[in-house]
Structure formats: C-alpha cells, structure tokens
Amino acid sequence: MLEEKAQLPKAEIEQAGLGSAADARPVLEVRDLVKRFGGLVAVDHVSLVVWPGEVVGLLGDNGAGKSTLIKVISGVYRPDGGQLLFEGQEVSFASPMEARRRGIETIYQDLALCENLDAPANIFLGREPVRRRWGFLKELDDRYMLQETQHVLEQLDIHIPDLRQPIRQLSGGQRQSVAIARAIYWNARLMIMDEPTAALGVAEQQKVLELVRTLRARGVPVILISHNMQDVFAVADRVVVMRRGQKVGERRVAETTTNELVGLMVGAERA
C-alpha cells in the first residue's frame, strides 16, 4: 500500500518535467508527531508524507486536530514528540518565520494581508526591493514590484483589473489569489491552505481550486484543510482523515467515496 503511494507521485513529477532523481523524495515527512495541551493530546502520534506535486486533503471534524497538526508543521507550535523532516532534513522551527524561510507557506483564513495596501505592496511586504536615488537615498522600487506582481499573477492566471487599489476593495477570491501569489513568488516549497474556499462565492471557489491545480502542476505540493468534501474530491490526490487527534485513515481520492470518508471522520468506519 505504502509502496503504491510512493510510486504515483514520482510518475507525476516526471510528467511535470521536474524530475531529477534527487527530487523524488518526500517534501515533508511527519513521523509520530505528538502535541499536547495539558492533559489533552491534540495530535496523537500522527505520521504523514507529502510528495512533490501532490495535493493532500486533510479532513476531520471540528477538534479533530487538523489545525494543531498544521500549526506544528508551520512553526506556530513546537511538537512534544516525533519528528518533522522537510526535504529530507530534520527540522525544528522556533517560529512561523523560520518555517517560512525554509519555504513552508501557510495561508490562513484571515489571509494575513494588509487590506489598506495594494497587491504589490502585500506581495513584497517586509521584503521590499529598494533602489538608490542620488546615490544615498534608498527608495521603494515600486515599478519593479508592480512588474513582478503582474508577472506572477499572469503566470497563475489571476486577473485583477487595477493593481493599484487597496486589497480591501478586491473580492474575497482576488484577495485569496494575492495571498497565494505571494507564497508562490517567494518560492513556496510547500503550501498549507486552511479552509481556502470557506468564505467565497461559488465562482471564486472554483478559481481558488484552479489555483491549487496550478500549484500542483508547478510541482508545489499542497496540504489542503477543508470541511468541504466537494473541494477535496475536486483537487486532492490523497486524503488523510483525522479524528480525536489521531490519523484514522488515508485514502487515494480515486479509490474512495464521500460516504467512506464521512464514516472515518465520525468514527463509524474502520481504517
């Protein structure tokens, strides 16, 4: 079973034209991860592997431990046990910034964008390029930021009519797109998305799912947390189901059904 899982993504890597043999190792490997809050075991010996160019859905009822698990992966929490391997190396992140520096980008529901700034300002926030004026004054290089933003949005097939307006004036889907574009621009090696379609209209949900597929095609693996079974079936390659802090099942999307997954989530079905 495990062998089989390992095989398929490798083939996909080669399809995507990214495939040197060295790349054919898991991007992320979670081994026996444990996270406790006092007496509560929020994540109970969970193991998980994410391969390049793979979309992994993370399913579970409220309180199943999904959010805690991704917060450990993205450096918000320190694990109490187990190992985290990123691109083959054991890692231990002291902060979300450290995880991000390694290329683990997390897109939370609140998006972490500055609504009063425009898209280029958000994409380059904290990492703004500067150029010198008269040799000694360091100024923002707005033209470069605008060009690069246009470029990355074009690559991702995202259309925003006026890039100079504050993000506040964009739709939810457009904002989501800017957050994703920012992660891509800064070379995300692994994207974690927490309920990316939750607050969106139908058309915008489709657009975001489209973006997830684009990421996969570019070889960037995605961990997708969602309540929405349709989303998971639409884009995920594989699903990991959690219940009460434990991983209760792992299925390839092609080989499972909504009923089976719901059964696993509520504990009616055995893994």
Partner 1 sequence: MAKMVQQLALPAARVKSRPLEIVSRFWSWLFLLLLLLFFSLTGPGFFSFLNLQSIANDMALALLMSLGQTFVIIAAGIDLSTGFTMGFAAVIEAVVLNALVGRLPLGLGLALPLSILIALGVGTLPGLVNGILIGRLRVPPFIATLGMYGIARGLGFIFSGGGQPVSVQTPGVGDIGNGYLLYYHPAVGFSWLHAPLLPPGARPRDLISILPFPLIVAIVAFLLCYWLLSRTRFGRHTYALGGAPEAARRAGIPVARQTLKLYMLSAFLASVAGVLYVLRFTNGDANAGDPLLLDSIAAVVIGGASLFGGEGTMVGTLIGTLIIYVIQNGLVIIGIDPYWQFVAIGAVIILAVLMDQAKARVLNR
Binding site for partner 1 (CB under 8 A): 96-97, 100, 110-117, 121, 125-128, 130, 137-140, 157, 159, 161, 168-171, 173-174, 203-204, 206-207, 210
Evaluate whether 160 touches 170 at the Cβ level (below 8 Å). yes
Task: Tell me the H-state helices in the chain.
Answer: 2-15, 66-73, 96-102, 119-123, 142-155, 172-185, 202-217, 229-235, 258-266
**Minimum distance, C-beta of residue 53 to partner 1, in the bound complex (Å):** 22
For the CA atoms of 212, 58, 79, 34, the dihedral, rounded to the nearest 10 degrees, stands at -160
**Minimum distance, C-beta of residue 143 to partner 1, in the bound complex (Å):** 12
**Minimum distance, C-beta of residue 131 to partner 1, in the bound complex (Å):** 11
Q: What are the tokens at 234? A: 């639409």
Residues 38, 265, 107: CA angle, nearest 5 degrees: 70
- The span from the CA of 186 to the CA of 253, in Å, is 30
Q: How far apart are the first and last CA of the chain?
A: 13
- The span from the CA of 80 to the CA of 84, in Å, is 11
**Minimum distance, C-beta of residue 69 to partner 1, in the bound complex (Å):** 19
61 or 128: whose CB is closer to partner 1? 128
- The span from the CA of 257 to the CA of 245, in Å, is 22
**Minimum distance, C-beta of residue 262 to partner 1, in the bound complex (Å):** 29
- The span from the CA of 226 to the CA of 180, in Å, is 16
Evaluate whether 231 touches 202 at the Cβ level (below 8 Å). no
182 or 243: whose CB is closer to partner 1? 182
Q: What are the tokens at 47? A: 């193991």
206 or 246: whose CB is closer to partner 1? 206
60 or 120: whose CB is closer to partner 1? 120
170 or 261: whose CB is closer to partner 1? 170
**Minimum distance, C-beta of residue 173 to partner 1, in the bound complex (Å):** 6
**Minimum distance, C-beta of residue 213 to partner 1, in the bound complex (Å):** 12
**Minimum distance, C-beta of residue 116 to partner 1, in the bound complex (Å):** 4
170 or 253: whose CB is closer to partner 1? 170
- Cβ partners under 8 Å of residue 120, min gap 6: 142, 145, 146, 148, 149, 163
38 or 126: whose CB is closer to partner 1? 126
2 or 134: whose CB is closer to partner 1? 134
